[in-house]
Amino acid sequence: GNSVTQMEGPVTLSEEAFLTINCTYTATGYPSLFWYVQYPGEGLQLLLKATKADDKGSNKGFEATYRKETTSFHLEKGSVQVSDSAVYFCALNSNSGYALNFGKGTSLLVTP
Partner 1 sequence: ETGVTQSPTHLIKTRGQQVTLRCSSQSGHNTVSWYQQALGQGPQFIFQYYREEENGRGNFPPRFSGLQFPNYSSELNVNALELDDSALYLCASSLGAFDSANEKLFFGSGTQLSVL
Among 43, 69, 70, 112, binds partner 1 (CB under 8 A): 43
DSSP state of 83: G
Confirm or reject binding of residue 89 to partner 1 (CB under 8 A).
Answer: yes
Distance, in Å, from the CA atom of 103 to the CA atom of 35, rounded to the nearest integer, reads: 10
**82 Cβ contact list (under 8 Å, min separation 6):** 15, 110, 111, 112
Among 12, 14, 26, 51, binds partner 1 (CB under 8 A): 51
Confirm or reject binding of residue 10 to partner 1 (CB under 8 A).
Answer: no
Distance, in Å, from the CA atom of 30 to the CA atom of 77, rounded to the nearest integer, reads: 25
Q: Tell the smallest beta-carbon distance from residue 15 to partner 1 (Å).
A: 26
Residue ranges binding partner 1 (CB under 8 A): 31-32, 41-46, 51, 89, 91, 93-94, 96-105
